[in-house]
Homo-oligomer: A and B are copies of this chain.
């Protein structure tokens, strides 16, 4: 590494600040929503931003993301790869890293964005300390569709490059529930097939055939395991309750209609 100058000379490399930013997604009332916090200081004072913070010395990137997620939502996240325990926890995985020189006007900041998927939480922000936080539908947070792409600043209501980060996170979630069992991360520990279908419909923004969906998910080995109970919380005929099975990769995958 680092040809042409002495490697790892402390004066030979520029110092960076490293942060983690979180794209926390959930499905509320049939819509995909993201957690955003209101900024209290300049720059972008008063604008909405993704939650995040500095990585501490001697702290791993995933640990920093889990800490921020717990501070912001109270969720206990399991890292991707770790078997999901019985605790109420969200899925957490690294998304991408954003380090354009001008992305923060004050200093050089490299942000390791993470993607978290959580079930619909009763309280939007249990015990956070930021000024305010809310779940906002991602359509409101992303680029307005009809606007021409000429005024490249201020296109998104989010601060910094968080509009792009959110868009990347949403795209990751949309594609990943297709070939993995990740959609169950949006559900409570026990859920019905209809509730899982509404997750897919909310994330993809499409309508799915309830009959074929039922056959598909119950027929995929390892995706769902019946928990024995039933519920009528959605009205209508009582529905079987399921838990997420051990399978992580879906074969064959769920098919998103009309790409």
Interface residues of A in 8-34 (CB under 8 A from B): 8, 10, 12-19, 21
Nearest CB in chain B to that of A99: its residue: B61
| Interface contact A15-B12, CB-CB below 8 Å | no
Instruction: Report A217-244 CB contacts with B as 1/0, cut-off 8 Å.
Output: 0000000000000000000000000000
By a CB distance below 8 angstroms, the chain B residues around A130 are 3
| Interface contact A99-B18, CB-CB below 8 Å | yes
- Return 28 A-B CB contacts under 8 Å, by A number: A1-B19, A1-B49, A1-B52, A1-B53, A1-B54, A2-B53, A2-B54, A3-B53, A3-B71, A4-B129, A8-B106, A12-B54, A13-B17, A13-B18, A14-B56, A15-B16, A16-B16, A16-B17, A16-B18, A18-B110, A55-B99, A60-B101, A61-B100, A61-B110, A97-B112, A110-B110, A249-B259, A251-B259
How extensive is the interface on chain A, given as a class? 35 or more
- Seen from chain A, the residues whose Cβ lies within 8 Å of a Cβ on chain B are 1-4, 7-8, 10, 12-19, 21, 41, 49, 51-61, 71, 94, 96-101, 106-108, 110, 112, 129-130, 249, 251, 259
State which of B1, B21, B53, B101 has its C-beta within 8 Å of the C-beta of A59: B101
Question: Secondary structure at chain A's binding surface: helix, strand, loop or mixed?
Answer: loop
| Interface contact B100-A60, CB-CB below 8 Å | yes
By a CB distance below 8 angstroms, the chain B residues around A60 are 99-101
| Interface contact B101-A58, CB-CB below 8 Å | yes
In Å, the complex CA distance between A71 and B54 comes to: 32
By a CB distance below 8 angstroms, the chain B residues around A58 are 101, 108
Least CB distance, A72 to chain B, in whole angstroms: 9
Residue among A12, A15, A249 facing the most chain B CB atoms (10 A cut-off): A15
Nearest CB in chain B to that of A110: its residue: B18
Given the known interface contacts A17-B16, A18-B18, A41-B7, the answer about A61 and B97 at a Cβ–Cβ threshold of 8 Å is yes
